Amino acid sequence: MDIHERNIGRRAKQLLARFPVLAFTGARQSGKTTLARMLCPDWHYFDLERGADRDFITRDYEFFFERYPDRVILDEAQECPELFRELRGIVDARRERKGRFLITGSSAPELLTQISESLAGRLATLEVGTFKMNERYALPLSEFYSRMNVDAVEGPALDALLDLPVRLNTDQVLEGFLSGGYPEPVLEGEGAFFQEWMTHYQSAYLERDIRKLFPRLNLENYRRFLHILSDLSGTILNRSEIARSLNSSEAAVRDYLAIAEGTYLWRSIPSLEKTRSKSLVKMPRGYLRDSGLLHHLLNVRTKEQIMHRAGTGAAFEGFVIEEILGGFEAVQSAPWRASYYRTRSGAEVDLVLSGPLGQRIPVEIKFGVSTRQQSVRALSRFIEQEECPFGLIINNAKEVKQLSKKILQIPVGCL
């Protein structure tokens, strides 16, 4: 596997064969453009952030689409909102034709709203995340995701996961955790270049993307908000406390959070619904999605600093959750939904994967290499309470190991 190959490439090709339009969404610099041009190297390419390309398209849509009726990549399409209405007519004129347009966009709320209003039923969407560890180290996608595939009758089985190979050692996992998955710094180098790239990325995100999307936003407050988020990654956010720290309103903090999530910097994990517990905490928990950006904001530069930082466990949870959800994004037939479980008495499960037929797989995530019996007992109680087929403990162990009849330890290096 070439290091530039992406896990979702195969699924993207399948969707292009089934839909007239495919949209790639995701954070800026996550690799959407590179993937689009790799999948469709002989297609016509237009960058809507370039004034010349945007003017050429918008000056006369009818003329443009007569010349380029299909096999077209439209990069950063949210820059041209009226484009989607025009695309609808072009697609409907020859609805039977598939794989005609590939569009990309970095602003989820704006892009997805335009899509839903104009291209519903004519388009498929895929999120292009930053590199998973297997992409970073030029390995194929782990079999974990295909073995977790939801069977129409029985669902996934613990036995299918027992012989998963551990493909990455602890040092490789820590390196991936430290530096995250933005393709350019991963491919080009580390050290000083990595920090320079992250500093530039943060500045460009604020000054170009956020200023353009939200011209009235208090950028300095939002910048401070991102640093607060980095400290709170992996926790249940208290918006009123954040508002006091920023000397701002709770409504402003709610807007800031929606912006961070809508631009793919932050992932909000909802509380588990329809549980047997009567004392459930129902507020969402969140994570800064790329661990490299997280560590940059926290001024964590080395693996040694990771080992001694108090908040490493929560940050590692977010890293593993992104690994898992990124893997499922690449497997079309495994539609797992993510949530977490916490009661007012403190009982907790870091991640609960819910399948379409009601199957639930609880997942505990630990930074260490060993599993305490307390964790096994807590997970066992949840499995019994919610009638789950089995549960997983994911950590930095060196081998897959069955810890009890219904609990399996899986090293992060298997993912």
Residue 268 clears pLDDT 90, i.e. is over it: yes
Residue 155 clears pLDDT 80, i.e. is over it: no
Mean pLDDT of 264-279: 84
Q: What is the pLDDT of residue 399?
A: 94
Neighbours of 40 (CB within 10 A): 19
Mean pLDDT of 249-259: 92
Residue 154 clears pLDDT 80, i.e. is over it: no
Residue 152 clears pLDDT 50, i.e. is over it: no
Q: What is the pLDDT of residue 87?
A: 87
In order of start, what are the domains of the chain with their CATH numbers? 9-127 (3.40.50.300), 133-414 (no CATH)
Out of 21-30, 84-93, 166-175, the most confident range is: 166-175
Residue 300 clears pLDDT 60, i.e. is over it: yes
Q: What is the pLDDT of residue 151?
A: 54
Q: What is the pLDDT of residue 1?
A: 43
Mean pLDDT of 240-257: 92
Q: What is the pLDDT of residue 81?
A: 80
Q: What is the pLDDT of residue 230?
A: 93
Higher pLDDT, 393 or 5: 393
Mean pLDDT of 369-391: 88
Mean pLDDT of 36-44: 95
Mean pLDDT of 327-333: 82
Q: What is the pLDDT of residue 190?
A: 66
Q: Report percent pLDDT > 70 for the chain.
A: 93
Residue 189 clears pLDDT 80, i.e. is over it: no
